[in-house]
Structure 1
Amino acid sequence: MDPTEETLNNPAIRAYLFRLVGEEGLNLLERFPTEGEHSDEDLAASTGINLNSVRHTLYTLYEKRLAEYHRIKNNETGWLTYLWQLRTDHIYDAIREDMELVFDKLSRRERYEEENDFYICKDCHLIFTFPKAMNTDFKCPDCGQPLGHFDNEVLLTSLTDRIEAIKKSLGHA
């Protein structure tokens, strides 16, 4: 079985790629020729996918090191042609990098939620940190209603659970 086909048959990887390049991008990946390098124009012609979509998908994959190219210059016209090939062997590295980014963001958010006390307007549903609530005398700046304490324990528990799951997946546990 072709490595790209094998990669696309994994539901988790397929979901990641769908989030990354969308339905048209997945269609391109499924139809990408298995051998050699191909220009974006050739890929668009052979797959029937819009050239701009092909280019967008290739550049997105390139940013994650899931595609690479080399340029050739036509000496008569001076035009550059980019020849592309997929690098699905880098998929796990790309997913790991994205998970590390999510882990960092969630960890920062967890710290923010732990370090702050929150107040909410029961009418407008606006949430304020303690200093901002204090600056408005614990009244909503939009409607004037008194602010009540907001218990963020459910959010904090959810963040902690998600962080622990990512730690386990990344081998940080």
Structure 2
Amino acid sequence: MTVMTLNLVEKQPAAMRRIIGKHLAVPRWQETCDYYNQMMERERLTVCFHAQLKQRHATMRFEEMNDVERERLVCAIDELRGAFSKRRQVGASEYAYISFLTVSQRRTLFMHAGLTEKEFNQPYWRINEESCYWRDALFRALRELFSLFEYAPTILTSVKPEQYLH
């Protein structure tokens, strides 16, 4: 799981940039664009929330965003796909899995579930109680995020192919 950013590309030797630009940049760029552009708006809202972008970004196509916005987006996708990897879940209960998440990842999960700060601020061990009214929404959101990030491109890029040549 790798993220290509403009800063990383600029640090590469010119010859390497030319080779990557000629052979790898276009398919990586297209895969990243397709992955983001094919998300449902609700999924985009979740990723934009985690990237600390505005709601309006969820209605934009990936290629319409500027360099900084794209970089924040691919870094957020990379962090979330690492957090919501099915391999990470093996053998862990939902409670244990949620306890492994960072605060920002947990906040993103709660937001994706349509929950508020009120639910987020409650102890998350409450999901073990049958009376927890937000438990099902949280578990559904967890399954959705596992599914969303299961097929994310291996290499995400915020760098347009032509930027490799400059």
Structure with greater contact order relative to length (CA < 8 Å, sep ≥ 6): 2
Q: Normalized per residue, which structure has more helix?
A: 2
Same fold (TM over 0.5): no
Calculate the TM-score normalised by the size of structure 2. Answer: 0.31
Structure index of larger Rg: 1
Q: Normalized per residue, which structure has more strand?
A: 1
